[in-house]
Structure 1
């Protein structure tokens, strides 16, 4: 996929944020990294393969280092100075990070609704992550799908259904009509999603949906391989959900005034799905998913939800996540309730206890 087609770099330019795209960088660089820095305490991942997939070459293992900054070690000024000193001898450095630069940046609203306290990485993430926005081209494709499949003036709510982890996705791909509850419990971290989705009470869909937001239209994001099961679960509750398929994306892209040149793929489909969900009246996500985090942390200017919802200073109270409550009641919860009266130090302590 072409980064220039996916993201709105004019926002970064206006904010004077320096950046360089890898394909442009490689025009004057041979792609050989001088060092690798890793933000975790556990074993190094398969770095050679990860770097090779990006068209780069990893340095020898004696140049693989652990960052003094992480969610477990914190991000104070002394640690930043130490990292700067470690980086000084090298020109081309690869930084391996997922959710470990600062606390749980991939989940829900990340740190955007937290008091960062003394954690400087948290402040940096809050200041700069919201500047990475979806491109106008992608938003136009999302708008074209909404007009075609939902209706330009039709209110709708959106939800992201993501069984966790990947082995649970494979279980949901099973052709069996009903899944084994023992397997669900053993394999899935959010097995409650399945039991609630097949429940006739339909709390999964209704609380952030029809009654509260006065709509009968639901847009569902989920991996194409489990859509048949998710569609059956919703239909059992009387909901015929809208899905964006790869064939839909190819069609609206061909009809676009400025079609994307990026190859059609499930990854590109997911990015356009995110833009559609960002336009919803309300959004219900899956707490552990980074895709949910992208939507919650970045939504559309015309909607009242959070990062494009938070990025544009929109009210996050119309964003929800799916979770069991202590009473074993399976209901969507407002994201604002999760973050109420929490700060970075309290979140870090909670994370360490898990």
Structure 2
């Protein structure tokens, strides 16, 4: 690992442990059901800016750390559920910044990307649609939101669902299908916009993301043609650029949270006495902690392996699917064991362990459920077999 990444990661960890973790008890979080309020997010980001750890994965010249470097930084930021918000490494902003950095024009980067990198603007990615209406979910080709060119503008209509952070976002990336055309297109928009209406913010199992997850109605949204990201019909190609790194950065952040949850469960087991000895000395508890160590290390190595593939310039579609499945399932096991080790305390709000359990459960669905990734990998197995001519 490079010296620069190690130095950044160390600063991030110090900041999260010393400054961010005390905020986990902030009463503003307890009364806000759809993620921490923006007032708190900006307060934390001001402190991160002062500490020199705001958006630490993007360097002063606008270049990014490599994916392997990013991994150790984002894992450290995830040591608290509030850490990625404070350091500006949270989804969907982190993935949106990556995409704009790769595909955006100089004008787009100045207008939309710069405020995001500075931690002054949150963003939302408008792709998923209501399942009850047959819209796009795990299968983006089912997209029903349309865009029609009208002079030097495009007019967009449709409904979106589970749009993370839409409430309070200042930048939106909207995906729509050109009427009568192929593929999909992406548009950058300023938010809020009266043509993009939040119908409701869903009550969900997770609670770490500001703005929650919203159902959106888009009625005759007019977007200047120069705010289309890239070319018409190439939206799915651009989504692929974002997809693998975004999957992997989810793994990084939630690994950080599970490292912390395991620290808390370990401290509990090494201090709590039952049936005449410390919990850790009971085989059932000690073995769970041992299994956590194994799963944590496997997650770390899987992330590093996939990051290395992405650093070669490959899309890493299959590799990121494997990493996402392996890591999300392992983190679920870890979080569940931490709750079990701590008993009643584990399901209470006295520590972050119960929140980590909830967040990781949702992570098994973010960026594609486990079953969709396995299905995709199975298709690759068959395709590779037939291509090799092994009949």
TM-score range for the pair, normalised by the shorter chain length: under 0.3
TM-score (norm 2): 0.25
Greater helix content: 2
TM-score (norm 1): 0.27
Question: Higher RCO, 1 or 2 (CA under 8 Å, sep at least 6)?
Answer: 1
Greater strand content: 2
